[in-house]
Chain A
Amino acid sequence: MSQDNAHAEHYHPTWKEYKWVALILFLITVVEVWVYYIPELVASKAFVPGLLIMSAVKFAIVVMYYMHLKYDHKLFRSLFVGPLLVAILTLLGLLFLFSKIAIRLSGGG
């Protein structure tokens, strides 16, 4: 049957990978929470970007390994990445439109 074929072709991660993934997720989460409690770090300029990068990494590895997008048909990749991009761009666009920069530049007053 065709989709069994498709399945067979694809490598599926096993416990070996899964446990590493879980460990990394756990460690990143620990680091995230830990930095939250260090006022100097929270005050630093790198805090927000750092957190965003860490959560993006978590996001990516869950999607790639647990949702096995890395191994699956490339169709699924486009079905997910396309909308995700539109969603992220829309979110950024909205944040800009409601930000102080956009409003301050509006002049007129």
Chain B
Amino acid sequence: MATVAASPTYTASATPQRSRLMSWLTTTDHKVIGTLYLHTSLFFFVLGGLEALLIRWQLMRPNSVVLTADQYNQLFTMHGTTMVFLAIMPLSAAFFNYLIPLQIGARDVAFPRLNAFSYWIFLLGGVFITLPIFFWVAPDGGWFGYAPLSGRTYSPGPNMDFWVLGLQILGISSLAASFNFATTIINMRAPGMNLMRMPMFTWMSFVTQFLIILSFPVITIALVFLQFDRFFGTTFYQISAGADPLLWQHLFWIFGHPEVYILILPAFGLVSEVLPTNSRKPLFGYPVMAYSGILIGFLGFGVWAHHMFAVGMGPIADTVFGLTTMLIAIPTGVKIFNWIFTMWGGSIRFTAAMKFAIALIAMFVIGGISGITHASPPSDLQQTDTYYIVAHFHYVLFGGAILGIFAGIYHYFPKMYGRTMNETLGTWHFWLNFIAMNLTFFPMHFAGMLGMPRRIYTYDAGQGWELFNMMSTMGAFLLAPATLIFIYNFFRSKKHGEPCGPNPWDAPTLEWSIPSPPPEYNFAKIPMVTSRYPLWDLTHPERTAEIPHTQTGWTEATQQTGEHDMAPMHIETETRTAKELGIPMPSSTIKPFFVALGIVLMFSGLLFLPKGMKVPAFALMFGGTAMWVGYLYAWLTTPLEDHH
């Protein structure tokens, strides 16, 4: 099947001699940044998972005393925050970084240094918000931090300060990255790659960037208000001043609902790459897949208040938001059916990636259907803030986003490291994970509908919830070994995995036409794209015969006369370095790191204000500001590439 003989793996030779750490701190290579994202977010995933294990341990039996109420409240807040902002979003970002330029035939992202900045500020923000859990002073207001509980009056300690500032910092990272990737996808596609030829992962990432661009400013403002309330005594959420707590809720969920699609769409994109490749068939209904992604994203801005059916918005608002929410089932259903019919009539190869992708379809449907049951407000009033909701969102988040990301990791690992991951271990990981996740999250439906509220650190015996909680805890503790198998496989395969060629899965898209791992410049000659599955056009023309091909790619491209580093679609075998080929590469720089550090220091200064410690507060704020402004100027006045 993998027809291409193992090509010599590319090894960068002429990189200047720097220490490993220094080369990371200064890198502007989207692939290195992608792997940095990958490792960091896997670390945070395990951390969030450990927090979940403590939660489950406490809930295993009624009236148990493993954790105190305060500890528990910090744990579930940090579990939610970590998983959403520090695990899944950056795991997606890892793929944006690694894959988007490769899939569209670009040498890098539009703004390589901004890209490095996004990573560093994510890392520093992640550390900032995570550190306090080790001292039990972590945020404890829930991942959506409802006011007025999150305000200074009811949360006087530093806990929520970390949350407000931490999310603000992480928001900068996401926004910076989204402008970068949106621009990259609009403007850096190889000649001939029009929108209808973009790989589906790139498509879904494209939609995701716009969701970020439009939703993050809203939470930024919501957080600015909270930050001002907490540090400067403004009245936005101050009940005694007549404030309306629903302001926070609306602003949060205007961000929060698009956020859940930010979490799922990249995973949908990954699955849309894995399924056709392993079925040896083109994606069924490609245009509709793209449009449905756009539609999901767009509708996602009109449903936010379905998280607020219990707040008493009135029947009209309930009706409107209930119905718009239900509508989302239609484009999502289209995706589900198109995936299934991609496999229908195919020749399915069950790689580990494929298993995870298929499981995503199976599991996401469960979460989607329970989602529809909360879209009906009178019914949701019996469900909201119970474990039934917890079941819903873990089916879509774990059964959707995480399974999709696992599929993506197994599938793209060979591209990143030139070796495949061990399939036997992958199969073990898959089955254990699959069984354990259902054991963990399915019983939560019952606990919820039988009256168990969420976010409770303890519950009384005899309420009919013991069995379900015991099952969930067993499941969670099975997820740990499953995850450990994966981690072991991941790190072992980097060194000892089966070496593979550029295209071990016989996949159809551009990223597979270059060596694994790709050289620093990605493409020695930028390919000219004439169809949606350019590689299959070369190797299996019969598979794409039915897909419309036009020659516009050619014509557009041939107009670019003189662009001598372009060539017709081909398989890259080049192993020389960028320097040898005369390809200008962005030079590495430490400046983005220091800009990020300056911003984080500036925010940290605020932490000292409520304690009245003005000196360290202002020192940090001014020092941090000076640092980031200075380095930003230096960055903007240095050209991207050094020599010409």
Contact = CB atoms under 8 A, between A and B. Distances in A.
Binding between chains A and B: yes
A107 B314 contact: yes
Contacts of B317: 96-97, 102
Given A75-B186, A97-B250, A102 B313 contact: yes
A61 B250 CA distance: 32
A109 to B, nearest CB: 10
Given A75-B186, A97-B250, A90 B313 contact: no
Contact of A97 (B186, B213, B305): B305
B318 to A, nearest CB: 9
A103 interface: yes
A27 to B, nearest CB: 33
Contacts of A75: 186
A90 B314 contact: no
Interface in B195-254: 210, 213-214, 218, 244, 246-247, 250, 254
The binding surface of chain B is classed by DSSP as helix
B301 interface: yes
Interface string A2-46: 000000000000000000000000000000000000000000000
Contacts of A108: 312
A75 B349 CA distance: 41
Nearest to A105: B314
A83 B250 contact: no
A90 B214 CA distance: 11
B242 to A, nearest CB: 13
Interface in B79-137: none
Contacts of A90: 218, 254, 301
Contact of A106 (B246, B302, B313): B313
Contacts of B302: 89, 93
A103 B250 contact: no
Interface string A76-91: 0000001100110110
B316 interface: yes
Interface in A48-96: 75, 82-83, 86-87, 89-90, 93-94, 96
Interface in B284-316: 301-302, 305, 312-316
B183 to A, nearest CB: 10
B213 A107 contact: no
B316 A86 contact: no
Is the interface on chain A under 10, 10 to 19, 20 to 34, or 35 or more residues?
Answer: 10 to 19
Is the interface on chain B under 10, 10 to 19, 20 to 34, or 35 or more residues?
Answer: 10 to 19
Nearest to B254: A90
Interface string B315-335: 111000000000000000000
A89 B244 CA distance: 21
A98 B312 CA distance: 12
A105 B244 contact: no
B313 A97 contact: yes
A105 B218 CA distance: 27
A93 B315 CA distance: 15
Contacts of A93: 302
Contacts of A105: 314-316
Contacts of B305: 97
Nearest to B305: A97
A74 B597 CA distance: 38
B213 A83 contact: yes
B316 A102 contact: yes
Contacts of B301: 86, 89-90
Interface string B249-282: 0100010000000000000000000000000000
A86 B254 CA distance: 11
Given A90-B301, A98-B244, A106 B312 contact: yes
A108 B301 CA distance: 28
A45 B313 CA distance: 28
A108 B312 CA distance: 9
A107 B315 contact: yes
Contact of B246 (A82, A86, A96, A98): A98
A94 B253 CA distance: 12
A27 B302 CA distance: 38
A1 to B, nearest CB: 11
B558 to A, nearest CB: 15
A83 B250 CA distance: 18
B251 to A, nearest CB: 8
Contacts of B186: 75
B508 to A, nearest CB: 28
Contacts of B247: 98
A98 B210 CA distance: 27
A6 B218 CA distance: 34
A86 B373 CA distance: 27
Contacts of A87: 214
A106 to B, nearest CB: 3
A108 B378 CA distance: 14
A34 B301 CA distance: 38
Nearest to B318: A106
Contacts of B315: 105-107
Nearest to B560: A2
Contacts of A86: 214, 301
B247 to A, nearest CB: 8
Given A103-B314, A108-B312, 13 more contacts: A75-B186, A82-B210, A83-B213, A87-B214, A94-B250, A96-B317, A97-B250, A97-B313, A98-B246, A105-B315, A106-B312, A106-B315, A107-B314
Interface of A: 75, 82-83, 86-87, 89-90, 93-94, 96-98, 102-108
Interface of B: 186, 210, 213-214, 218, 244, 246-247, 250, 254, 301-302, 305, 312-317
The 4 closest A-B pairs by CB, nearest first: A106-B314, A105-B314, A102-B314, A86-B214
19 contacts: A75-B186, A82-B210, A83-B213, A89-B301, A89-B302, A90-B218, A94-B254, A96-B317, A98-B244, A98-B246, A102-B313, A103-B314, A104-B314, A106-B312, A106-B313, A106-B314, A107-B314, A107-B315, A108-B312
